[in-house]
Structure 1
Amino acid sequence: MPDAIADAKRALRAEIRERRQLLSEQARETAADGIHAQLDALVDELGVRSMSCFLSTTAEPGTRAFVTDAVARGIRILLPVTRTDGLLDWAVATADGDIAEGMYGLPEPVGELLGPIAVNDVDLLVIPAAAVDDTGMRLGWGRGFFDKTLGSMQRCPPVYAVVYDSEVIDEVPSDVHDQRVTGIVTPTRTITLAPTRR
């Protein structure tokens, strides 16, 4: 990756981290409610029966209430579990599932692990992001887990990145390994950029 692109990514991530840290508890709760409503509508619109999602950290737009309610509605949700080789294992979300701190301090489910290919059968992927632009280029947090996952899928379902409204920006710095998403979910809107990724 050219140094200029790497530097631009680092600077943008740092700016976004700082903005997220400054959000009030009320702003976080309001955002989580909005994400819940947007994801509920998306799941209904797409007729999703099986999907992947992630357990949000305190700084991320909240996904946990959505995951809990979706499991209660009978939707099968795979949650990512980081591996040392840069790939993701998956665990099925359960109503009473334990959560522990995984690699990099990320919240991850405790339980039976399914291998990286388990995600090949889902109807929808909902993934974290630092920012997304209107072409669907996503800026992750620099570890490449989701870019590797998306890049290796033979038949990729719709992929939506979850960000705050201010993180939908004009242009995300990118290189050849970065993967685009199908759409963006914010607390106030869902933007579908293309019917399919490929």
Structure 2
Amino acid sequence: MGATQSPAKVAVRDRLLTARRRRSLLDVQIAAEAIAEHLLAVPDVRRAATVAAYVSMDGEPGTAPLLDRLRAAGKRVVLPVLLPDDDLDWAVYPDARSLAPARFGMLEPTTEPLGLEAVATADVVLVPGLAVDSRGYRLGRGGGSYDRALGRVPVGTFTCILLYDEEVGVAVPVEPHDRPVGWAVSPSGLRRLGP
């Protein structure tokens, strides 16, 4: 993916991706269900009209149960559409039938794009990653897509990264362009991040 990567980030990223590849499908599914339960109990999520989320891939904690339950609760769910410059546009997610294969093995909605700023209209922003430190700095896959998107999110918006338990509280190399999130959710629960 696009951005220049520091050697420290590459090393941590490789270690975490290796651990994810060792997870069983059952473990991924159990984590997905637990994460959905935790998030759907959060007052910010229960009150949200619009939730910016994503379709999980490549050993990430699964998001399918969460996306289905958000829609069933009447939430407007918007998902990212990766642009050629690795920035993120957004489109409404009506159901799994609206998803199509995209770059890097991703699935994206086929509905009309809403624009880069659509993420700023979400009441809740859920992001992927490989790890997060106690201050909320996340390690992504190296393209900088979510750092740009998080830069458009108004201060005070509920922002949360979805991870496995051992990926929360990891020492993450931080660079000037990195944007923190306020919360992490893993199978064991929700954790507030920050100073």
TM-score (norm 1): 0.89
Deviation per CA, 1:7-26: give whole Å up to 9, x if none.
11001111111111111122
What SS class does the counterpart of residue 6 from structure 2 fall into?
helix
Deviates more, 1:127-136 or 1:45-54: 45-54
Task: State the 1:44 CA deviation.
Answer: 5.7
For residues 181 and 96 of structure 1, do their structure 2 counterparts lie closer, same or farther at Cα, with a shift above 3 Å needed? closer
Q: Which residue of 1 aligns with 2:113?
A: 113
Q: Which residue of 1 aligns with 2:92?
A: 92
2:25 matches 1:50: no
Residues paired across the two proteins, number: 192
For residues 77 and 28 of structure 1, do their structure 2 counterparts lie closer, same or farther at Cα, with a shift above 3 Å needed? same
Task: State the 1:156 CA deviation.
Answer: 5.7
Q: Which residue of 2 aligns with 1:123?
A: 123
The 5 A counterparts of 1:181-196 are: 181-193=181-193
Taking only aligned residues, the RMSD between alpha carbons, in angstroms, comes to: 2.0
Distance 1:70 1:61 in 2: 16
Distance 1:135 1:165 in 2: 16
Q: What residue identity is the alignment partner of 2:97?
A: G
The 5 A counterparts of 1:1-198 are: 6-42=6-42, 47-95=47-95, 97-155=97-155, 157-193=157-193
What SS class does the counterpart of residue 113 from structure 1 fall into?
coil
Residues 120 and 156 of structure 1 are in contact (CA less than 8 Å); yes or no, is this contact kept in structure 2? no
TM-score (norm 2): 0.91
Task: State the 1:42 CA deviation.
Answer: 2.0
What SS class does the counterpart of residue 67 from structure 2 fall into?
helix
Distance 1:90 1:113 in 2: 6
Distance 1:163 1:129 in 2: 7
Identity percentage over the alignment?
33
Q: Which runs of 5+ in 2 are unaligned?
A: none
Residues 126 and 159 of structure 1 are in contact (CA less than 8 Å); yes or no, is this contact kept in structure 2? yes
For residues 119 and 45 of structure 1, do their structure 2 counterparts lie closer, same or farther at Cα, with a shift above 3 Å needed? closer
Q: Which runs of 5+ in 1 are unaligned?
A: none
Distance 2:62 2:31 in 1: 7
For residues 82 and 110 of structure 1, do their structure 2 counterparts lie closer, same or farther at Cα, with a shift above 3 Å needed? same
Task: State the 1:152 CA deviation.
Answer: 3.4
For residues 124 and 135 of structure 1, do their structure 2 counterparts lie closer, same or farther at Cα, with a shift above 3 Å needed? same
Residues 150 and 156 of structure 1 are in contact (CA less than 8 Å); yes or no, is this contact kept in structure 2? no
Distance 1:167 1:74 in 2: 31
For residues 71 and 132 of structure 1, do their structure 2 counterparts lie closer, same or farther at Cα, with a shift above 3 Å needed? same
For residues 84 and 156 of structure 1, do their structure 2 counterparts lie closer, same or farther at Cα, with a shift above 3 Å needed? farther
For residues 70 and 153 of structure 1, do their structure 2 counterparts lie closer, same or farther at Cα, with a shift above 3 Å needed? closer
